[in-house]
Amino acid sequence: MRVQVALATALLVVGLAALMSFVISKRSGADLQNQIGIGVSDIALQMADELDRTMWTHRGEVSVLSTLRVLREMQDVREISSIINRLRHEIPIFTWIGVLDRDGTVVAATNDLLVGANIAQRPVFQYGKNGQFIGDVHDAKLLAEKFPLYNGEPIQFVDIAVPLVNDSGEFTGVLATHLSWEWADAVRKSLFSGQGIHQNVDIFVISQDGTVLLGGDGNLVGSKLSLDALSEAQSKHIGWKISTWSDGKEYLTGYAPADGHLDYKGLSWSILVRQHVEDALAPVYDLRRDILLWGLLLALVFSAIAWWAAGFLVGPIGKMVDGIEAMKRGEISNLPDVRGAREINILSKNLQALLTKLTEKDAALGEMKRIAHHDKLTGLGNRLALDVYFEHAVARADRKGAEIAVLMLDLDDFKPINDRFGHAAGDDVLREVAKRLRRCVRGGDLVARLGGDEMVLVCHIDQNGKEEAAILAERILHEILMPFITGGNRVSISMSIGIALYPNDSREPEQLLEHADAALYAAKARGKNGYIVFSDIEDLTDNSSSCA
């Protein structure tokens, strides 16, 4: 029981730990996933806002610069060159600034790059001469060789251009600028390096047609994405979802549109921020593992406690069990008093009372059974006992291949004793006869009184059944011939015996009794105080006929 209690406690604790781990991990996983999703969508929104604010700021700077008279009139090229180089020095994001005349020829530029070159076919002039122009990210076709590679790739630009108009309202040229795309990557790295649950996040800038402009380790730059999260961002939605990317892995993906700032309409960029699901939920897995480990540890601790505590319950119960076993073996007669908890004390007392009643009941039943199977006067078995005995004796004889001797006994001239000395004297004689018969048989044999002075003896015989039965009959006759003393009177009596053998004379108990009774009458007819075996009756009849 102690082992069962300890194991049950351990299983309960482990089960609870497993259930808690499952429930907590499910609940925590959902909450943490939502928290990280909101976090990455916030990062996407911040990145979009930072990009739009930066573009809005520099667009304003270019617009303000274009209002300078020296640029609009385009008469002092040297002064123009000084101004734009100073701006380039103060704001390095302007990788190249150039002033183009009305024909598209570069008349002044930072570091004199492309001065004298005609770029009338470039978008900065084509669109810039008609109004403020902001161009999307593109490769530096004319300036690629003038600037070092960035991350092993040619430098890319974002264009801002505005027309130049003199005081007379005449178009005089275009102020064109190239902003290095490095600034966007710098913003990404400085703002969102990632801490805590936002470690190992990737930030992507996607163009209107789905081309990756910036993001990750650069492997996806230039490729096109087709994601449900991207579709949400292009639809001007902000949020997050779990998306399967081109590498076949699932990521928590936050999305937001870069839809401009104030009067700046933006370039229809979309910002995606992703984090691998396994990395995002690593704290959940750690929590689940910790709960299971603590559950196992607590299972061991509580099992030991349960083992120790069960001793207070199992100890007294064990003593009661030992006492009951000792009672069954007959070593003790009463269940010992066991002390313990209140319930144990009550159980012990009630069990003692119950066992006492059962013992009394068994004794009463035993006595009733004895009375039911025994003759009241002599204490010998009765007809019921004889029937029960026959049932077991026949089965035993068949099993061992043995024989059974049935001896029908009847006292000779018993009635005169009752008439002369009284029925009390007759009863004394019957009781004494019963004692003498018991002395003549073995423990496993049966002597029964069928009524009056008629009795029957059934015994097992291993071999030579007829001879052994005869020897037993001779011993009985000798015992009965010894005088009886009753009421101060000396009484002598004899007995006649009829013998039948199983299975030679019959295999049926009732027929055996009938054969033994027939042999008894034959013995009385021959002169009493003797015995006859049933199988000899026919020989005796034949001999009597011959003598006649």
Angle (nearest 5°) at CA 252 between 246 and 254 = 100
- What is the rounded distance in angstroms from the CA atom of residue 66 to the CA atom of residue 79? 14
* Burial (Cβ within 10 Å: 0-12, 13-18, ≥19) of residue 104: buried
In this prediction, residue 102 carries a pLDDT of 93
pLDDT computed for residue 547 by the predictor: 41
**Sign of the Cα pseudo-torsion (101, 104, 110, 111, in order):** negative
Confidence of residue 172 (pLDDT cuts 50, 70, 90): very high
Q: Looking at residue 460, which CATH number applies to its domain?
A: 3.30.70.270
Question: For the chain, what percentages of helix, strand and coil (3-state, to nearest 5) are there?
Answer: 55, 20, 25
What's the pLDDT band for 515 if we cut at 50, 70, 90? Answer: very high
- The average pLDDT across 339-353 equals 69
Structural contact between residues 204 and 229, judged by C-beta atoms closer than 8 angstroms: no
**Residues contacting 94, CB < 8 A, separation 6+:** 58, 87, 88, 110, 177, 178, 179
CB-CB contact of 487 with 428 (8 Å): yes
d(CA 101, CA 120): 9
> Per-residue confidence at 85, pLDDT binned at 50, 70, 90?
very high
pLDDT at 351: 73
pLDDT for residue 514: 94
Output the pLDDT for position 531: 94
For the chain, give the percent of residues with pLDDT over 70: 79
Average pLDDT of 97-125?
92
Q: Residue 545: what pLDDT?
A: 44
Of the candidates 52, 159, 453, 517, the residue annotated as catalytic is 453
Question: Does a structural domain hold residue 236?
Answer: no
Distance CA 423, CA 199 (A): 118
What is each CA distance from 80 to 70, 151, 159, 175, 518, in whole angstroms? 7, 33, 20, 11, 159
pLDDT for 239: 93
Percent of the chain, pLDDT > 90?
28
Q: Are 497 and 472 in contact (CB under 8 A)?
A: no
DSSP symbol at 446: E
- The answer to the question of residue 264 being in a domain is no
**Is the model's pLDDT at 272 over the cut of 80?**
yes
CA–CA gap between residue 259 and residue 244 (Å, rounded): 25
- pLDDT at residue 502 tops 70: yes
Calpha distance 280→291 (Å, rounded): 19
**Higher-scoring residue by pLDDT: 150, 534:** 534
Residue 455: domain span: 374-547
The number of angstroms, rounded, from the C-alpha of 395 to the middle of its chain's C-alpha atoms is 54
- Using alpha carbons, list the distances in angstroms from residue 406 to 497, 503, 514, 516, 518: 10, 11, 10, 7, 12
On the question of pLDDT at 416 being above 60, the answer is yes
Using CB atoms within 10 Å of the CB of residue 419, give its burial: 0 to 12 exposed, 13 to 18 middle, 19+ buried.
exposed
pLDDT-derived band of residue 25, with 50, 70 and 90 as boundaries?
Answer: low
Instruction: Please check the confidence at residue 546 and state whether its pLDDT lies above 50.
Output: no
Residue 520 is predicted with a pLDDT of 93
Q: Is residue 445 part of a domain?
A: yes
* Pairwise CA distance, residues 257 & 232, whole Å: 9
pLDDT at residue 196 greater than cutoff 90: no
Q: How many residues does the chain have?
A: 548
Q: How high is the pLDDT of residue 3?
A: 65
Kindly report which listed range (101-115, 169-183, 342-356) carries the lowest average pLDDT score.
342-356
What integer pLDDT is reported at residue 548 of this predicted model? Answer: 41
Whether residue 199 is contained in a domain is answered as no
What mean pLDDT comes out for the span 517-536? 91
- Is a pLDDT exceeding 60 seen at residue 128? yes
Tokens of 267: 């370039």
Residue 380 has pLDDT above 80, yes or no: yes
In a domain, 487, yes or no: yes
Please write the tens of the pLDDT for every residue from 387-406: 889 888 898 888 888 899 99
Contact 471, 453 (CB under 8 A): no
**Tens digits of per-residue pLDDT, 303-336?**
777 667 666 666 677 777 777 777 777 667 676 7
Let me know if residue 226 belongs to a domain: no
Binning pLDDT at 50, 70 and 90, where does residue 418 land? confident
Tally of domains within the chain: 1
pLDDT at 368 over 70: no
Tell me what the pLDDT averaged over the chain comes to: 82
Most confident of 186-190, 222-226, 365-369, 457-461: 457-461
**Dihedral sign, CA of 506, 510, 514, 517?**
positive
pLDDT at residue 379 greater than cutoff 70: yes
Token readout for 167 is 């005081």
Q: What is the mean pLDDT of residues 242-250?
A: 88
Would you call 154 helix, strand, or coil by DSSP? coil
Residues 6+ apart with CB under 8 A from 49: 258, 261
Residue 131 lies in a domain: no
Euclidean distance between the first and the last CA atom of the chain, given in angstroms as a whole number: 87
440 falls within a domain: yes
d(CA 397, CA 131): 130
429 contact partners, CB below 8 Å, separation of at least 6: 411, 414, 417, 484, 486, 491, 493
453 catalytic residue (yes or no): yes
